[in-house]
């Protein structure tokens, strides 16, 4: 099985991830907010909540 990760899986990434799953890809998707994670779950994508910090 092929595996792909979609960082910041939003308005473009969700349809892409769903389409790839239909083609037997394993999709790992990330979002920052709880609402975004809920959208990933609703679309049956493997979800990861991330937080990116900018350090100087």
The predicted-structure confidence for 19-51, as pLDDT tens digits, reads as follows: 999 999 999 999 999 999 999 999 999 999 999
| 1 pLDDT more than 90 | no
**21 is written with which tokens?**
């799953």
User: Computed from CA positions of residues 1, 42, 16, 9, in that sequence, does the dihedral angle turn out positive or negative?
Assistant: negative
> CA-CA distance, 47 to 56, in Å (whole number)?
29
25 secondary structure, DSSP code: E
User: Computed from CA positions of residues 38, 43, 44, 49, in that sequence, does the dihedral angle turn out positive or negative?
Assistant: negative
**38 is written with which tokens?**
């809920």
Domains, the chain, ordered by start: 2-49 (3.50.50.60)
């Amino acid at each position: 099985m092929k595996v792909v990760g979609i960082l910041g899986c939003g308005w473009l990434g969700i349809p892409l991830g769903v389409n790839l799953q239909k083609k037997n890809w394993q999709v790992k998707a990330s979002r920052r907010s709880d609402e975004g994670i809920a959208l990933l779950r609703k679309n049956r994508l493997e979800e990861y909540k991330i937080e990116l910090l900018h350090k100087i």
